[in-house]
Structure 1
Amino acid sequence: MVLRTGPDVSLPWAIPLGADLEPLTSRAAAWRGWSADWPMLAVALVLSLAYLWGVWRARRRGTRWPWYRTAAFLAGTGALVLITHSFLGAYADTLFWARATLVSAVFIVVPLLLALGMPLSLAAAAMPPAGRRAAAALLRARAVRRLGHPFVGAVLFLILPWVYFFSPWFEATMRHEAVDVASLTLFLVLGFVYYWTRLQLDPVPARYPQLLSMFIGMGEVIANAALGLALITGGGIIAGDFYAAVARDWGPSLALDQKIGGGWYWLVGHIAGVPFIIIAFWLARLADAETAREVDAVLDELHSGDGPLLKPWWESDPRFAHLRTGERPGGTGNLPAPARGSD
């Protein structure tokens, strides 16, 4: 995010190095294509420091926070820095495929890692009792409950990228640094809200079966592929006037650039979508096992003591007595044993 042709190039964090970008025609050029993205760096640092402070506070309050949760969250903030400061950020205003890859990673990959870190549970562990009560009351608020509904998250997750790519919003993010920063932040927040309500690792306004989350996730992977295909097969050039003004004389044509971007958006969505479905399936199995343990505990309580307090209905029904004793119905002798090899 370094080339700006709009009026916001005077912002203090804007670095107009577009004229200095070498053609991205080799791996060496990609390795050299690093740029500073101060707003996203600030977001990553604030999130990381707040999380580590929460871990410290939780330990002081007697809670041992799992190291792998911390690793997942820091992997998310690290990925945010890597993506926005790498050649993807440097060439995001020059190549369509670089911006499409960057946006899909910030929207789909980074929030998944952040959600696996369970930051809301960590915040609750670090809060005093009054703070936890206030947070619980916030979760019960009507607006939060609506935002946490599975279908609301699905609609936002599916529609937002379509609106972004096929509206003037896309070109505005390349012409105005402030719009770009606000857009990436929005993608990051809504992506986290999506995974927060899907995985249900943190406290959520309302819980629903994990199998529902898994099946919805499968549908969203297909819908994500549909957007990639739309970018690949679309007849027009998105932000064609902007890219024509860039006037690069290297790399793919505008049409091919957009097709490559559609392919990368599709691929990145699958890179995050498949692990998400696997995690959702694993969580569904854990939920089923927990339900089975609860049912077994209830049955053990009902059958505790010298004898069973509750019997299945068929054990006391005289019509099925022959199944327990082995006699023929009507008392005509025992039932013959089945012959060897019989079905």
Structure 2
Amino acid sequence: MTDGTAFPPGPGPAPHPGPAPHPEAVPHPEAVPARQDHDDLVREFFDAATEADEEAAVALVHRALEAGLPPERVLLDVIAPAQARVGEEWAAARLSVAREHAASAVSDRAIAALSVHPAARAAPRRGRVTMACVDGEWHALPARLVAETLRLRGWRVDFLGAHVPPQHLVQYLHATGPDAVALSCSIPTRLPAAHAAITACRAVGVPVLAGGPGFGADGRYARLLGADAWAASATDAADRLERDWPPPVRPADGKAWHLAGREYGRVAGARSRLVAEALEALREELPETRSYTSRQWESTAEDLAHIVDFLAASLYVDDERLFTDFVAWTAAVLSARGVPTASLAAGLRLLEGLLRGLPRARRTVGAGLAAVGGSG
């Protein structure tokens, strides 16, 4: 996402400016904070969020709006990059999980405060959009930023939040008849669920605009799974809906023959067994693990489960890069926490040995080993 909102979030270059606001919404030039002031606001908002100071965060939002900063810019130039920095600080082990959660909650409350501020009132003048996260996707804040951006652009937005099963989404579409579904997926392990949601929406005649890093940096998995369009950011999503919606009907992708293939099904179905057997083998392979505390073993089991989940998703879309990118990211996160890469490589080698009769899966794990300096 170019604006850091992360349809879901992530840092990035300067945002697309979007269409010009209505004349009555244009503040006096002297009232609009300068770019440097934006950076100061980001730092101040980040400090408030990481200190769980909701009052200070909301006051900053009000102050920026009353100084003339357009609501969309407060969302995408202040709240979104501050929240992206929260994620970066967690990955670098400078923020705990609890503080990251508290900061996200403050950001969510700040968005809510912005949405009811007089400066952010926007009467619907376009169509209706249903915004939802795919089944199993709990990162709702990026989708909330997109939903609020669309509302500011004049759309009526029904925000369904995190973790929306396809059958519930379709029931809602039948009841409301929106012009589009904006579907958010931030983690590639939810791609099979995203595929189910996209298929269900298209079956009832509602086109899907997909977004979020789960669909790949360039949206390649969105296209593969049948989405009608993909947006790189909140501003891109709004621009697409304004410019060229509804899109032409897309035919089924003939290249998607491998989706939910045999190896994907076997790996996904054996997830619990693979994790348990890998843990047991790890005790034998690395004697130092025998002194692990119960919490350390829980963390190791979680890491192995994530590795298996990303392997399954990689097999689902037939793209080794999905797995190798995750493994490289995991190595960086573990290194920031003082865990040597050798431990990750050992886990990958053990998993590779458990994948007998699954040549694609073994080849993918081998590529992951190569990505962290192990042997494939």
Query: If the TM-score is normalised by the length of the shorter chain, which range does it land in?
Result: under 0.3
The higher radius of gyration belongs to 1
- Looking at secondary structure, tell me which structure has more helix per residue: 1
Q: Which has the higher contact order (CA 8 A, sep 6+)?
A: 1
With normalisation by structure 2, the TM-score equals 0.24
With normalisation by structure 1, the TM-score equals 0.26
- Looking at secondary structure, tell me which structure has more strand per residue: 2
